[in-house]
Amino acid sequence: MLLAISIAVHVSMLFCPAVTVPPRGAEHRRLVLTVVVFLMVPLIWSLFLLFRYRTPKERVVALCSLAGSLYWAGVAASAAAEL
């Protein structure tokens, strides 16, 4: 179940229209900040998994989810850098 939710969280980021065509510049500053917050959801989910679950299988799911979250954090950082 944790694996399915983690996959769903990361795949849902692919279908976010602001990720596929990121907002540009100062005229969309509020939208950029919204996208950055939205892209941090996988990181928050991964940290929750990492600190909440203790068995080795659950830890593997958490670490895999954390690895994917680092990609989304990079996308969020590049979106924030365009401000």
pLDDT in tens, 25-53: 666 677 777 777 877 888 888 888 888 88
Instruction: Give the chain's domain count.
Output: 1
pLDDT recorded at residue 12: 77
pLDDT recorded at residue 22: 59
Q: How far is CA 12 from CA 26, 28, 40, in A?
A: 26, 22, 13
What residue numbers bound the domain in which 48 lies? 2-81
C-beta separation of 3 from 62 below 8 A? no
- Mean pLDDT value across residues 52-78: 85
The answer, as to whether pTM is greater than 0.75, is no
- Mean pLDDT value across residues 53-75: 86
